[in-house]
Amino acid sequence: MTIDALFEASDNQQADAALSITIARPDDWHVHLRDGDMLRAVLPYTAAQFARGIIMPNLTPPVASVADASAYRSRILAARPEGSGFEPLMTCYLTDLTDPDEIERGFAERIWIAAKLYPAGATTNSSHGVTDLAKITPVLERMEKIGMPVLIHGESTDPDVDIFDREDVFMETTLLPLLKQHQGLKIVVEHATTSGTVDLVRAHAPRMAATITPHHLVINRTSLFQGGLRPHLYCLPVAKRESHRQALRKAVTSGESCFMIGTDSAPHMRSAKQADCCSAGVFGGVTALQTYVQVFDEEDALHHFEAFASLNGARFHGMEPNKSTVTLVKKPGIAVAAVPIGGEDIVVFRGGETLPWSIKA
């Protein structure tokens, strides 16, 4: 599948007259590809934008062993569009029973490059997650020793904590003690949503970093209710107040090396989103780069875009930036509104809208 097939350019502006920016092809440091038919449906969109992607392991059952990760990677490679060089970077789903030797073996063999820490019950398919950090102390000690990063879904699961406060409470009650106990552990706070998290990451860089999604840069919690309930904007962590959105925008456009792309593109069927109990997740892989570059343009920070999009994540994970490039053009374009799968579809974040930036074919 080509870029031309994924995006339709508008006719009201000429490409050769538009502002453009060419950068090293980015990587997505947090993406959900699912499995089976859904994997085959959504992968082409991520592969069209990104050279590599850190693949989330919250399948059912979770990707919790070297064998699981190797098999899942093979399925992703088999699902790539013809001619695609997209490289999946696998992760291990941490549980209370994770074996430190298994962690080290998978890291040494480059089967996975990081481990994912879900507090049990925090989000989609996290019921097998960690119930108490004390239970995985030997695992974290081993990861600290071998230089393996832990990727953290940073939300408290205490039922008495308001959903809009769960991230800040987690940072205060769980992450700060973790940082103190494991002072050499490399940590990525995934999908940061608050000004407090941004400040915490800055204070503990360079051994700590954060991914920030495109949707958290353009929506706030009011967006969920504008004109009625908007289930396709519901995700976890949930969008926060406007002041937090502004803090995220300032962070990503600052040029600081501790912030990187992580779309958290998380597809769900329309029927699972438009339901009595709506699934959490925003499917943003189709419009990610167009959204990110729009934010940098609006913040007058296009000179920092390549660092955020293409350099910071690679350097944090000890990899070289990609040699291939991608060009984005300030030319209106319309992304597909939904991706069909079987007799249903998956609604695309900002799909069907006229976006000010497009990807040049």
Instruction: Report whether 58 belongs to an annotated binding site.
Output: yes
| Tally of residues, the chain | 361
Q: Which residues have C-beta within 8 Å of that of residue 242, sequence separation ≥ 6? A: 220, 222
How many Å apart are CA 173 and CA 166, to the nearest integer?
10
Instruction: Report whether 304 belongs to an annotated binding site.
Output: no
Given the residues 27, 68, 168, 264, select the one marked as catalytic: 264
State both tokens at 63.
């990707």
Instruction: Report whether 52 belongs to an annotated binding site.
Output: no
Active site residue 264: yes
CA-CA distances (angstroms) from residue 296 to 215, 282, 305?
A: 14, 21, 7
Look up tokens 């699981």; give the residue. Answer: 68
Q: Which amino acid is at 316?
A: F
Instruction: Report whether 33 belongs to an annotated binding site.
Output: yes
State both tokens at 145.
């020793």
Look up tokens 């590809």; give the residue. Answer: 33
Residues 117 and 151: beta-carbon distance below 8 Å: yes
DSSP state of 175: I
DSSP state of 222: G
Instruction: Report whether 236 belongs to an annotated binding site.
Output: yes
Instruction: Report whether 331 belongs to an annotated binding site.
Output: no
State both tokens at 251.
């962070």
Instruction: Report whether 30 belongs to an annotated binding site.
Output: yes
How many Å apart are CA 163 and CA 167, to the nearest integer?
8
Return the closest-CA partner of residue 111 out of 91, 130, 94. 91
Instruction: Report whether 125 belongs to an annotated binding site.
Output: no
Catalytic residues: 264
Give binding residues for substrate as ranges.
Answer: 32-34, 58, 153, 236, 268, 280
Annotated binding-site residue numbers: 30, 32-34, 58, 116, 153, 191, 236, 264, 268, 280
Feature table: binding site for Zn(2+): 30, 32, 116, 153, 191, 264
